A and B are shown apart, each in its own frame.
Chain A
Amino acid sequence: MTAHKLTTVDGDDNRQGSADHIQYVTVVIGSQLFGLPISQVHDVFVPEKVTQVPLAPPEVEGVLNLRGRIVTAINMRRKLHLKPNDADQGMMAVGIEYKGESYGLVIDAVGEVLNLPRNEMEANPSNLDFRWAEISGGVHRLDGRLMVVLDVDRLLSSLIEPKAA
């Protein structure tokens, strides 16, 4: 399985970034840039042999074996209500640990790691699609494009907590 641990970035030993900066792993979903706090990203891998889970919520792509652990893959495009990926386009996944379980967020591509000051993050614009607002922790204005900060905890808890009564 092609997976590699993310280790230190720029020779900086502090994975969290300094107190007033946060390091983000940037990912692309659809055409939008998203950022995940690096402290929450376990690894990045190419999902292979994904087993579909019947009766699962639509956001769940399936389950797969990553080095002997069973990882639940979440289709981020579906979660964000974007158009599905073209079949031939390669998939990437970001591995995340949440409450002792492994999840993989299936995304289009992984970008660079950015070190961004905390105070530059802005709150969600009020007209943001509610399905996005639900899982967005805020927005960073970068040169020429916007980066939405993914709130991993909210994302996963929104999927785990039973919605239906």
Chain B
Amino acid sequence: MDDLLREFLTETNESLDVVDVELVKFEQEPNNATILNNIFRLVHTIKGTCGFLGLPRLEAIAHAAETLMGKFRDGVPVTHEAVTLVLASIDRIKDILADLEAANGAEPDGTDRDLIDELERLSLSADNDDMADEMAAAMAEEKAAEEEVGTDIYQVLERPLRPGEVSLDDLERAFQEAEVEIELPAVEEETEEDGEPVGVAAPNFSEAKTSQKEVAKPKNPSAKGKASSQGVSNQSIRVNVETLEHLMTMVSELVLTRNQLLEIVRRHEDSEFKVPLQRLSNVTGELQEGVMKTRMQPIGNAWQKLPRIVRDLSQELDKPIGLEMIGAETELDRQVLELIKDPLTHMIRNSADHGLEDPADRVAAGKPEKGNITLSAYHEGGHIIIEVKDDGRGLNLEKIKEKALKNGVTTEAELEKMVDHQIYKFIFAAGFSTATNVTSVSGRGVGMDVVRNNVELIGGSIDLRSTPGRGSSFIIKIPLTLAIVSTLIVEAGGDRYAIPQLSVVELVRVQSNSEHRIERLKDRPVLRLRSKLLPLVHMSELLGQTEEADLDEDNGFIVVMQVGSQSFGVVVDGVFHTEEIVVKPMSSMLRNINMFSGNTILGDGSVIMIIDPNGVASAMASHASGTLTDTAEDEYENAEDHVIDADAPISLLLFRAGSEEPKAVPLSLVTRLEEFDVNKIEHSNGRDLVQYRGSLMPLVYVNEGDRHKSEGTQPMLVFSDNGRSMGLVVDQIVDIVEDRMTIEVVSERQGVLGSAIIRERATEVIDLGYYLPLAFDDWFMRKEIDTTTKVRKLLFLDDSAFFRNMLTPVLKAAGYDVTVCSSAQSGYELMEKGTDFAAIVTDIEMPDISGYEFCESLRRDTRFRHMPIIALSAVVTPASIEKGRQAGFDDYVAKFDRPGLLAALKDVLTNEFGVAA
């Protein structure tokens, strides 16, 4: 793509955004000539440029839209229909531009006759309503404009107004060259001065008169209207974002070097470097601030599309809605800006759809018919606060309670104790929507959790307030920038770590004889903090460095952290100071450690890891489930005759796909419920894909040959593991239920584990193991499951919750009594307790103690010398199999080869029988 075209794309996209906003404004104040002129000028520029660049499709639409708008300028009343149509044209232009960009400069095939016809029809009818001679003029104008694309006198007029624009300059020059020798600069000069330019240029054109008409009109008002606002753009230039990013990196380096120098000088009291270094330090500080500023953009940029969205929503929902935006000039880092665009849009939609009542209800409640949404932004101590407020009905507490109970997020007893505020927060849970009617706008319960996730992803937090009948407001708090973070430096296990301040609530000093001492509940440390019981975790334990027992509990500090609605304490050995650090991404070799969000270089030159609060929070959560496993194990010990499926009920997601009968999948396996606009579904390489979080996600259908919906949005279940995602296309998500998953009838069909009674209906339990390899070949294959009649005790070790959740039902369905452990350590403990297992299935790749080591050490123990042990691994190479054999495994199976696993189990168990017998 050549530079000219690229420049054109950037510029046109910007112009279109402005047009969007201006049109909505214009619809409300049809008599504002400045707005109209502004729109007219932008569309005209687009048209002219397209003609020059040889983009006939774009040009034709822009032209037709321009003609229609020309009518407005001539005094034809502005109708709702007309504005909608012009907006539709703008959208079409945007679509074409997107294709153009993707296709590297080639205009996509297709016709826009529909739009153009419609635009022309409106233009004509406007004319008919008007004077007849006007129409003749318009026709001539149309013809004239069509024939002299690129010879825009209007464009020429632009030039003295916006000299800072390089691309226009280029175009201008090109225009000049394309034109019959006219001394354009001279013309411009006159244009500026006497305001009666056309006479000079006109003789050069065939349709002099009509051109004159077209040009003379806009010139004066636009010159006037623009004079005031154009001053600023003269002083700005376009800079490639990459250049800025690079600059930012270099400044960060400079800051670090400066810090190092300061550290050195601090050690030498009377150094002659002191004064110049102080100066360097100040300059560096200012430089850093300056560069940061270049990355800052007013938040209004992220709001640009909102007026249009609200306008469309207002029509679609048939509610008059006003949008007020306060603090659009508040600046924040462009990286952050990009990341909050979508969540904001979603929240506005939510407010419009179920925040605001219908006009009738509003009137009945004594409120004005028109609902209001207020969007405001302001700075607060290194953070930016964005508030989305509506004056609607407020959240319905009862409905949320009901839904929370139904979804199994909480219990009746817990609800009793909660204050309203806590209950409101349930709407951020996945799969939560209280809207009774699912509309095309919102209410599918896949929204607010996404919003929360996106906000938390950038280290922000979200809160809400609601007053019944008065409205609700959502408050987002996000850091100004992601590049520099204020952190608390702590020490644990002899190493230092940085914890982002944003998630630190307070620090508590631990002393065994004071009121703040660590107590234990079933080995889990907790702290009584005021009225609450705070779960604790030792930092070094989190980082897998020490075992809980070795920790000194009498001294140290507790860093109380809050992530979303989760509060917990992290026990550290020492707390140093706070430091502003420049975040550097982790090396790709270490990026999969989710306990760290990055690393940085401290003033003393050493590298330090930055703790990711989200990672800690999820580790806390999995710790809790570890406790559950322990409990389950205890039960196993007490009840020897424990048979399968007497498990606690699990959450199941019910859905429909392909056929009427309900299908189910354990909720714990589902990463997310998503809906995609069907337009977003792309077909490539023989399969359907959607772009999802920056990568392509393959879509899989429940039955072969199923198709996704042809319009609207397509619900799907997203399964992710290890950075890969698959979308399972479903017709409808029915419900989430808590039930026992007892497979009554084992299936013969691929893709179905069997049928179970769920909610008193026969429900097909989907075999995820069948669908995963459809998305990625190396996610395993499966055939039938053999059912063995004998119930045998199996120990299954895997550190990945995903695989534990996935393989356990398979093993159970195959008739084994499965005990699950998440680490080799807990496996040892269980074996030591003397639980009698028939066989062990263990993952190879586990932290701390690998499967190899686990197996080797069991083999050293005479008791377990002949115990059948099967290795499960993602990597199956001759070398790894050999290594497995050396370690003493009886068999080595690929993690995804479930028939293989079941066959291997059967095999080793029959062998064992043979030996025993």
Q: Which residues of B contact A60 (CB under 8 A)?
A: 589-590
Choose among A49, A52, A162, A164 the residue with the greatest number of B CB atoms under 10 Å from its CB. A164
B584 at the interface (CB under 8 A from A): yes
* B847 proximal to A (CB < 8 A): yes
Specify which of B588, B606, B874 is in contact with A160 (CB 8 Å cutoff).
B588
| A159→B589 CA distance, assembly (Å) | 6
- The answer to whether B895 touches A165 (Cβ under 8 A) is yes
A-B contact pairs, 20 of them (CB 8 A): A49-B605, A51-B495, A53-B609, A54-B495, A54-B543, A55-B543, A55-B593, A64-B607, A68-B253, A70-B584, A103-B587, A103-B589, A130-B879, A130-B883, A159-B589, A160-B588, A162-B722, A163-B845, A164-B722, A165-B896
Q: Across the two chains, which residue of chain A brings its CB closest to B615? A: A55
Q: Which residues of A contact B (CB under 8 A)?
A: 49, 51-57, 60, 62-65, 68, 70, 72, 74, 99, 101-103, 130-131, 134, 156, 159-160, 162-165
Q: Which residues of B contact A65 (CB under 8 A)?
A: 601, 605-607
The answer to whether A68 and B845 touch across the interface, beta carbons within 8 angstroms, is no
B253 to chain A: which residues have CB within 8 Å?
Answer: 68
Please, how many angstroms separate the alpha-carbon atoms of A164 and B851 in the complex?
12
Q: Which residue of chain A has its CB nearest to the CB of B848? A: A55
B491 to chain A, nearest CB (A): 13
Q: Which of A62, A164, A165 has the most CB of B within 10 A?
A: A165
Query: CB-CB contacts of B528-569 with A at 8 A, as 1s and 0s?
Result: 000000000000000111000000000000000000000000
Q: Count how many chain B residues have C-beta atoms less than 8 Å from C-beta atoms of the other chain.
A: 42
Determine chain A's interface SS by DSSP, over half rule: mixed
Q: Which one of A63, A68, A165 lies within 8 Å of B722 (CB-CB)?
A: A165
A95 to chain B, nearest CB (A): 13
Q: A53 to B606, Cβ gap below 8 A?
A: no
Residues from chain B with Cβ under 8 Å of A56 in the complex: 589-590, 593
Across-interface contacts of B572 in A (CB, < 8 A):
none
Give CA–CA (A14, B801) in the complex, Å: 53
**Contact, CB under 8 Å: A55 / B608:** no
The reply to whether A70 and B588 contact each other, CB–CB distance below 8 Å, is no
Q: Which residues on the B side are within 8 Å of A159 (C-beta)?
A: 589
Give min CB distance, A150 to chain B, whole Å. 17
Q: Which residues of A contact B590 (CB under 8 A)?
A: 53, 56, 60, 63, 72
CB-CB < 8 A to A99: which residues of B?
588
- Nearest residue (CB) in A for B608 is A51
Is B721 an interface residue, CB under 8 A from the partner?
yes
Chain A's nearest CB lies how many Å from the CB of B596?
Answer: 8
Query: CB of B592 within 8 A of chain A?
Result: yes
A102 to B584, CA, bound (A): 13
Considering the complex, give the chain B residue whose CB is closest to the CB of A51. Answer: B607
User: With A and B bound together, what is the CA distance between A60 and B589 in angstroms?
Assistant: 9
B797 to chain A minimum Cβ distance, whole angstroms, is 13
Q: A63-B607, A162-B722 are in contact. Are A57 and B543 (CB under 8 A)?
A: no
CA distance A53 to B606 in the complex (A): 13
B875 at the A interface (CB under 8 A)? yes
Using Cβ atoms and an 8 Å threshold, which residues of chain A touch B874?
A: 163-165
Asked if B495 and A55 make an inter-chain contact with CB atoms under 8 angstroms apart, the answer reads no
Which B residues touch A131, using CB under 8 A? 879
Q: In the bound complex, how far is the Cα of B102 from the Cα of A163, in angstroms?
A: 34
Contact A57–B589 (Cβ < 8 Å): yes
Taking the complex as formed, is B599 at the interface, i.e. its CB lies under 8 A from any CB of chain A?
Answer: yes
Within the complex, the shortest CB–CB distance from A56 to chain B, in Å, comes to 5
Q: Is B882 an interface residue (CB 8 A)?
A: yes
Whether B601 pairs with A54 at a CB distance below 8 angstroms is no
A68 touches B543 (CB 8 A): no
Complex CA gap A68/B607 in Å reads 10
Residue contact B599 to A63, C-beta cutoff 8 Å: yes
Nearest CB to that of A129 among chain B residues? B879
Please report the C-alpha to C-alpha distance between residue A49 and residue B843 in the assembled complex, in whole angstroms. 35
A70 near B595: Cβ-Cβ < 8 Å: no
In the bound complex, what is the Cα–Cα distance between A65 and B545 (angstroms)?
23
Given contacts A56-B590, A68-B601, A162-B592, contact A130 B896 (CB under 8 A): no
Chain B interfacial positions (CB closer than 8 Å to A) = 253, 256-257, 493, 495, 543-545, 584, 587-590, 592-593, 595-596, 599-601, 605-609, 721-723, 800, 803, 843, 845, 847, 874-875, 877-879, 882-883, 895-896
Bound CA–CA A52/B843 (angstroms):
26
Select which of B595, B722, B878 is within 8 A of A54 by beta carbon: B595
Closest to A74 in B: B589
Minimum distance in angstroms from B77 CB to a CB of chain A: 59
Q: Which 7 A-B pairs have the closest CB atoms?
A: A165-B874, A130-B879, A54-B543, A164-B845, A72-B587, A51-B607, A68-B253
Chain A positions within 8 Å of B592 at CB level: 162
When distances are taken between beta carbons in the complex, the residues of chain B under 8 Å from A72 are 587, 589-590
> Is the beta-carbon distance between A51 and B609 smaller than 8 angstroms?
yes
Cα separation A57 to B878 with both chains bound (whole Å): 22
CB neighbours (8 Å) of A52 from chain B are 495
Complex-state Cα separation, A142 to B907, whole angstroms: 50
Most A-side CB within 10 Å, residue of B607, B800, B895, B896: B607
Q: Min CB distance, A136 to chain B, in Å? A: 13
Give A159 to B592 CA distance when docked, in angstroms. Answer: 12
- Assembled-state Cα–Cα distance A102/B585 (Å): 12
Which residues of chain B are within 8 angstroms of A102 by Cβ–Cβ distance? 587
Interface centre among B545, B599, B722, B800 (most CB of A within 10 A): B599
In whole angstroms, what is the CA distance A156 to B595 when docked?
22
* CB nearest to A62 among chain B residues: B607
Closest approach, in angstroms, between the C-beta of B538 and any C-beta of chain A? 12
Across the interface, name the chain A residue whose C-beta is closest to B588: A160
Assembled-state Cα–Cα distance A126/B505 (Å):
59
Chain A nearest CB: distance from B669 CB in Å? Answer: 15
Residues of A within 8 A of B896 (CB): 165
Cα-based distance from A64 to B545 in the complex (angstroms) = 20
Chain B residues with CB under 8 Å of A53's CB are 590, 593, 596, 609
> Roughly how many angstroms separate A99 CA and B587 CA in the complex, as a whole number?
10
Given A54-B495, A68-B601, A160-B588, 20 additional A-B pairs, CB 8 A: A51-B495, A53-B593, A53-B596, A54-B493, A54-B595, A55-B543, A55-B544, A56-B593, A57-B589, A62-B607, A63-B599, A65-B605, A68-B256, A130-B877, A160-B589, A162-B592, A163-B845, A163-B875, A164-B845, A165-B803
User: How many whole Å from A100's CB to the nearest CB in chain B?
Assistant: 9
- Chain A residues near B843 (CB, 8 Å)? 164
The answer to whether A101 and B587 touch across the interface, beta carbons within 8 angstroms, is yes
Closest Cβ of chain B to A9, distance in Å, is 29
In the complex, which residue of chain A has the Cβ closest to the Cβ of B778? A165
B870 to chain A, nearest CB (A): 16
State the Cβ distance, A39 to closest chain B Cβ, in Å: 22
Q: A54-B595, A56-B593, A163-B845 are in contact. Are A70 and B601 (CB under 8 A)?
A: yes
A63 CB → nearest B CB, Å: 5
Question: Measured between C-beta atoms, what is the minimum distance from B246 to chain A in Å?
Answer: 13
B140 CB, nearest partner CB in chain A, Å: 59
Nearest chain B residue, comparing its CB with the CB of A68: B253
Q: How far is the CB of B610 from chain A (nearest CB, A)?
A: 12
- Our pick among A55, A68, A165 for the contact of B721 (Cβ within 8 Å) is A165
> How far is A15 from B45 in the complex, measured between Cα atoms in Å?
53
Complex Cα gap A165–B723 (Å): 10
Interface centre among A55, A56, A74 (most CB of B within 10 A): A55
* B588: A residues at CB distance < 8 A: 99, 101, 160
Within the complex, the shortest CB–CB distance from B389 to chain A, in Å, comes to 43
Contact partners of A63 in chain B: CB under 8 A: 587, 590, 599, 607
**CB of B715, distance to nearest CB on chain A (Å):** 27
The reply to whether B589 and A70 contact each other, CB–CB distance below 8 Å, is no
Q: How far is the CA of A57 from the CA of B600 in the complex (A)?
A: 20
Q: Is the CB of B589 within 8 A of A55?
A: no
Given A99-B588, A160-B589, A49:B606 Cβ within 8 A = yes
Most buried by B among A63, A74, A103, A163: A63
Least Cβ distance of A5 to chain B in Å?
18
CA separation between A64 and B253, bound complex, in Å?
15
How far is B845's CA from A1's CA once the two chains are assembled, in angstroms? 37
Q: Are A130 and B882 in contact (CB under 8 A)?
A: yes
For residue A3, give the distance in angstroms from its CB to the closest CB of chain B: 13
